[in-house]
């Protein structure tokens, strides 16, 4: 936890907050903080700054905060990600959030098992938890938006043209002969398929929407590896 995230419900005065639960335990056990310890804090969807501990015990910690610095710039990427298997989803979402993506579409694909959509990890509170962990890691405060789309064809035909308008649209596709030449600092809509990639029909539908397939070369990467590799290539210089 490189940033202690707070929200408006934590305030007890205009510039004081009281925290408990997971954040308290982290402050006590990991930071080993005491009164007068200063910590890095950030207001969810707001500025970052410092918090000075004025009281701490087994039940709560109180900090006086000053928030004067904006969060890091967002990555100008809209990510379309075929829903990963549940055990992978947590790590992938944290990586995506840490790298600054703010629009995430978890979409269906022929190779996505139907059971994945029944996972309790897709409940809003579970998704929210993973996003917070990613923000804390990267010292970011701006919460991404996650959109669940269980039907591939209606999503691509009805929604995607508006989503990718004004951006370069790319498909990470292992079978493509075109090697990735990704330039940062450009608005990008990036589609990443499931293990094994999108099937030809899905690639054709995305191409009809203006997407260009590319690959990372001969090596075939797992989704949890491919996602941070691809997004890191799009980080602003």
In this structure, the answer to whether residues 216 and 154 fall within a common structural domain is yes
In this structure, the answer to whether residues 53 and 115 fall within a common structural domain is no
pLDDT at 180: 65
Q: Number of folded domains in the chain?
A: 2
pLDDT at 36: 97
pLDDT at 237: 65
C-alpha distance from residue 151 to each of 55, 112, 117, 136 (Å): 51, 11, 11, 32
In this structure, the answer to whether residues 63 and 85 fall within a common structural domain is no
pLDDT at 174: 78
Q: What is the DSSP letter of 74?
A: P
Residue 237 lies in a domain: no
In this structure, the answer to whether residues 50 and 85 fall within a common structural domain is no
Phi, psi of 78 (to 5 degrees): -100, 125
SS3 for 26? helix
pLDDT at 173: 84
Extract the residue ranges of the chain whose pLDDT is less than 50: none
pLDDT at 109: 97
In this structure, the answer to whether residues 117 and 203 fall within a common structural domain is yes
pLDDT at 123: 96
pLDDT at 233: 86
pLDDT at 1: 84
In this structure, the answer to whether residues 129 and 147 fall within a common structural domain is yes
Q: How far apart are CA 172 and CA 214, in angstroms?
A: 5
SS3 for 172? strand
H runs (alpha helix) in the chain: 21-25, 86-98, 124-138, 152-154, 160-164, 200-208, 223-232
Q: The CATH number of the domain where 199 resides is what?
A: 3.40.1280.10
In this structure, the answer to whether residues 16 and 125 fall within a common structural domain is no
Q: Domain end: 69, 86, 111, which one? A: 69
By residue range, what is the domain housing residue 227?
A: 75-232
Q: The CATH number of the domain where 28 resides is what?
A: 2.40.240.20
């Amino acid at each position: 936890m490189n940033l202690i995230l707070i929200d408006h419900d934590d305030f007890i005065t205009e510039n004081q907050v009281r925290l408990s639960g997971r954040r308290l335990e982290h402050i006590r056990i990991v930071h080993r903080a005491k009164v007068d310890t200063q910590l890095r804090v950030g207001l969810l969807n707001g500025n970052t700054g410092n918090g000075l501990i004025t009281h701490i015990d087994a039940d709560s910690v109180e900090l006086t905060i000053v928030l004067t610095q904006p969060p890091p710039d967002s990555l100008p990427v809209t990510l379309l990600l075929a829903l990963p298997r549940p055990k992978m989803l947590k790590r992938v979402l944290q990586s995506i959030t840490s790298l600054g993506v703010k629009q995430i579409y978890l979409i269906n694909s022929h190779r996505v098992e139907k059971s994945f959509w029944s996972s309790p990890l897709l409940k809003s509170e579970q998704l929210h938890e993973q996003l917070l962990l990613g923000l804390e890691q990267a010292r970011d405060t701006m919460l991404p938006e996650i959109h669940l789309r269980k039907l591939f064809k209606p999503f691509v035909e009805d929604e995607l043209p508006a989503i990718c308008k004004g951006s370069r649209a790319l498909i990470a596709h292992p079978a493509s002969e075109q090697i990735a030449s990704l330039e940062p600092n450009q608005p990008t809509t990036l589609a990443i398929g499931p293990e094994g990639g999108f099937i030809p029909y899905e690639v054709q539908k995305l191409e009809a929407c203006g997407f260009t397939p590319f690959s990372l070369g001969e090596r075939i990467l797992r989704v949890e590896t491919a996602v941070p590799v691809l997004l890191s290539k799009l980080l602003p210089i």
